């Protein structure tokens, strides 16, 4: 039986964010979404912050501010893959960190974790776009950390294990974060679950999975042609894997005004745990 539904909190709710582990969805849309930001999220644990992807532009700075966060407090970043709706916001954060360190307005160090292809691309982009003075802060203020399939790193006080999702489009890593007490949060990236991920996804307390559209609208949005899945697909998967809480994101935005209602109605027929369809800037307690 699923536990009681986890409470959704809003950034203007007036509640302290320092005494719990939670996740704020800075964006929930797919690459072409304009009614919401591209999918990226922030995990908080006490005063520590872990950003996963950063969307497609400098809106990431606005979204962090709207979530009540100072970008300077984000000291750990995971980049799952090189698609522009996940990567280009990262370049803006690299600019802010490196230029801030160069000018003496940013203190301390930050770390960015990704597989070798993404690390190489970001290093190249930093030197090409930020200027050599700012790029000289790589390895000083900002460390680009290459991670391998199956590798575990300690990040914001949790063990985080990275895994290759075997993408058919671009090399992409998901990850699983140990929440303690035998519970874990698993992010499958932005493509459908692959059986190679079973060890990380099965029995997860939290599973973050893309759902490009309603199954009833698959003929309109054609998710399978884009290596994506539907709400029904993701919910059937979570049911098979014995997941406790399922979060659906990376969606189309044509149904944005009723997205939660429609996705929950379709998904609840196939998944009997706690199902969440967050809007941008909503927070879940983990």
Those residues whose C-beta lies under 8 Å from the C-beta of residue 193, and which sit 6 or more positions away, are 201, 209, 229, 234, 237, 241
Q: Average pLDDT, stretch 235-244?
A: 98
Q: What pLDDT does residue 118 have? A: 98
Task: List the domain boundaries for the chain.
Answer: 17-285
How high is the pLDDT of residue 1?
Answer: 35
Tokens 């964010």 found at: 17
Of 203, 220, 199, 282, nearest to 248 by C-alpha is 282
pLDDT of residue 17: 47
Q: CATH says 17-285 is which class?
A: alpha beta
Whole-angstrom distance, CA of residue 201 vs CA of residue 188: 8
pLDDT at 19: 58
Give strand pairing partners of 162. Answer: 175
Is there a contact between 78 and 49 (Cβ–Cβ < 8 Å)?
no
| Measured CA distances, 210 to 68, 130, 186, 190, 206 (Å) | 26, 32, 12, 5, 13
Tally of CB atoms within 10 A around 167: 18
| Distance in Å from the first CA to the final CA of the chain | 18
Task: Kindly give the interhelix angle for 231-241 and 259-267, rounded to the nearest 10 degrees.
Answer: 50
What pLDDT score does 159 carry? 98
Higher pLDDT, 5 or 184: 184
Average pLDDT, the chain: 94
So what's the pLDDT on residue 2? 39
Assess whether pLDDT exceeds 90 at residue 191. yes
Identify the pLDDT of residue 267: 98
pLDDT at 12: 52
Helix, strand or coil for residue 275?
Answer: strand
Report the pLDDT value the prediction gives residue 9, as an integer from 0 to 100. Answer: 52
| CB 134 within 8 Å of CB 102 | yes
Q: For 51-89, how does the pLDDT look when each residue is reduced to its tens digit (9 = 90+)?
A: 999 999 999 999 999 999 999 999 999 999 999 999 999
**pLDDT one-digit tens code per residue, 210-231:** 999 999 999 999 999 999 999 9
pLDDT tens digits, one per residue of 79-134: 999 999 999 999 999 999 999 999 999 999 999 999 999 999 999 999 999 999 99
């Amino acid at each position: 039986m699923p536990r009681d539904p986890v409470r959704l909190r809003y950034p203007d709710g007036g509640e302290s964010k320092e005494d719990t582990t939670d996740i704020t969805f800075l964006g929930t849309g797919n690459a072409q979404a304009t009614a919401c930001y591209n999918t990226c999220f922030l995990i908080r644990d006490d005063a520590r912050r872990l950003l996963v992807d950063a969307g497609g532009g400098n809106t990431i700075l606005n979204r962090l501010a709207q979530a009540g966060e100072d970008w300077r407090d984000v000291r750990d970043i995971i980049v799952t893959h090189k698609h522009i709706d996940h990567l280009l916001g990262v370049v803006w954060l690299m600019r802010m960190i490196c230029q801030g360190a160069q000018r003496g307005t940013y203190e301390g160090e930050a770390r960015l974790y990704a597989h070798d292809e993404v690390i190489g691309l970001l290093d190249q982009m930093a030197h090409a776009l930020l200027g050599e003075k700012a790029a000289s802060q790589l390895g000083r203020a900002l460390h680009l950390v290459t991670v391998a399939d199956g590798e575990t790193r300690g990040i914001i006080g949790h063990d985080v294990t990275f895994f290759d999702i075997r993408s058919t489009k671009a090399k992409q890593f998901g990850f699983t974060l140990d929440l303690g007490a035998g519970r874990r949060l698993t992010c499958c990236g932005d493509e459908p679950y692959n059986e190679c991920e079973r060890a990380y996804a099965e029995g997860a307390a939290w599973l973050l999975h893309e759902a490009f559209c309603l199954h009833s609208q698959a003929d309109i949005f054609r998710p399978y042609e884009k290596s994506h899945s539907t709400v029904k697909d993701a919910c059937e998967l979570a049911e098979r894997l014995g997941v406790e809480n399922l979060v659906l994101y990376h969606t189309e935005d044509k149904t944005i005004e009723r997205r939660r209602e429609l996705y929950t109605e379709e998904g609840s027929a196939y998944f009997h745990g706690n199902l969440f369809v967050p809007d941008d800037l909503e927070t879940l307690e983990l």
